[in-house]
């Protein structure tokens, strides 16, 4: 039995496309979102918008090219500080 179903989305993708993609996969019983490529994204507002729209928590963020070093559990405080530009990705 599956416990968690993560939807992996790129932060470089526009909000409209993120929303469309998420809606297409909603029927599989999504439990959380993994947001990748934060280091390549022009802005991080999509984090707030897509998780709010889906009603799903962020489970992980990827912040660079060094795997597994740049994969981190999503912490609400860190995500908020990133969105507001109060914290660096490094």
We report the CATH number of the domain holding residue 19 as: 3.40.50.300
Domain, as residue range, for 64: 6-75
pLDDT 10s digits, 28-73: 999 999 999 999 988 887 777 888 888 889 999 999 889 899 999 9
pLDDT digits (tens, 9 = 90+) for 6-28: 999 999 988 889 889 988 998 99
CB contact at 8 A, 79 and 47: yes
Q: How many domains does the chain have?
A: 1
The predicted model scores a pTM of 0.86
**d(Cα 27, Cα 90) in Å, to the nearest integer?**
35
Q: pLDDT band at residue 1, thresholds of 50, 70 and 90?
A: low
CA distance 73 to 55: 18
Distance CA 87, CA 75 (A): 13
pLDDT at 53: 83
Query: Which pLDDT does position 48 carry in this prediction?
Result: 75
Q: Is residue 71 part of a domain?
A: yes
């Amino acid at each position: 039995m599956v416990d968690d179903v993560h939807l992996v989305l790129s932060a470089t993708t526009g909000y409209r496309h993120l929303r469309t993609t998420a809606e297409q996969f909603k029927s599989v019983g999504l439990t959380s979102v993994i947001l990748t490529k934060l280091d390549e994204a022009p802005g991080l507002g999509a984090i707030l918008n897509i998780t709010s729209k889906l009603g799903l928590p962020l489970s992980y963020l990827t912040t660079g090219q060094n795997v597994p070093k740049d994969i981190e559990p999503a912490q609400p405080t860190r995500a908020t500080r990133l969105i507001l530009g109060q914290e660096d990705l490094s």
